[in-house]
Homo-oligomer: A and B are copies of this chain.
Amino acid sequence: MTTRDDATRGAKVAVRDRVLRAALAAFEDKGPDRVRVQDIASRAGMSSGHVLYYFRDRDRILISTLLLSEESLAERRDRAVRRASDAAAALDQLTRLYLPTGPRDVRWALWAQVLARPPEDIATRDRLQELANAWTLCIAALLQPASPPDGLAAASLYCHLMDGLAMEVLLGASGHGRAWAVREAAAGLAALAR
């Protein structure tokens, strides 16, 4: 049994979701900075005005898409951890999931957009921060048993190291693609989890 509020809220969520999926698809083939609100609207089969009726402005679409993208990646992360044979294998998988697939990686491109113009309200910034924290906690759990006294500190350092590597991949300089980042990360993990 659903009340009116529940029903309309459900519909709203569905429309929002349709927009976000359209946005994600658009970002994948053009890069977030080249995608216009109109592009997203067309893909979602609605007018640009309507898109902005649901998301107050373009930036909110970016942030919401990032949130969606992180959410689905988090699921893959948790599944990978569960399936991994041992901690080392899990860490390897997580590293590969976390690092960008290349200079055009949508998730990282969205992070770059957000960092270029961070949200005004602290609440949203803190919420984005939480996304990073979740990875740190997950990695800390894997590091804890075998490692230095404070696995959390090491995990935090490792995550930030990967952030730095990701940014460099995003820049797209020659010789600094995903493969390079994976190698650097492996070296970093070895040094930090000692």
List residues of A whose CB falls within 8 A of some B CB: 33, 103, 109, 111-118, 122, 125-126, 128-129, 132, 153-154, 156-157, 159-168, 170-174, 176, 184, 187-188, 191-192, 194
Give the most central of A115, A159, A167: most B CB within 10 Å. Answer: A115
Q: A163-B167, A164-B164 are in contact. List 17 more A-B contacts (CB 8 A).
A: A103-B118, A112-B115, A112-B116, A115-B167, A128-B173, A129-B173, A129-B176, A132-B168, A157-B184, A157-B191, A160-B165, A160-B168, A162-B164, A163-B163, A163-B164, A191-B192, A192-B192
- The 4 A-B residue pairs whose C-beta atoms are closest, nearest first, are A163-B164, A160-B164, A129-B173, A116-B116
A116-B113, A122-B174, A163-B163 known; A129 vs B168 contact (CB < 8 Å): yes
Binding site secondary structure of chain A:
helix
**Cβ contact within 8 Å between A170 and B113:** no
Measured between beta carbons, the chain B residues less than 8 angstroms from A126 are: 173-174
Instruction: Give, as a whole number of angstroms, the nearest-CB distance from A146 to chain B.
Output: 15
Beta-carbon contact of B125 and A172 below 8 Å: yes
User: For residue A167, which residues in chain B have a CB less than 8 angstroms away from its CB?
Assistant: 111, 115, 163-164, 167
Copy number of this protein in the oligomer? 2
Q: Is A171 a contact of B115 with CB atoms below 8 Å?
A: yes
Selected A-B contacts with CB under 8 Å, 6 pairs: A109-B116, A115-B170, A129-B176, A154-B191, A157-B187, A163-B168
Supposing A116-B112, A157-B187, A184-B157 touch, asked if A129 and B171 sit within 8 A by C-beta, the answer is yes
Name which residue of chain B comes closest to A126, CB basis: B173
Closest B residue to A133 by beta carbon equals B173
Q: CB distance B116 to A33 under 8 Å?
A: yes
Docked pose: A157 CA to B187 CA in angstroms: 8
Give the residues in chain B near A170, CB-CB below 8 Å: 115, 118
Q: Which B residues are CB-close (under 8 A) to A159?
A: 164
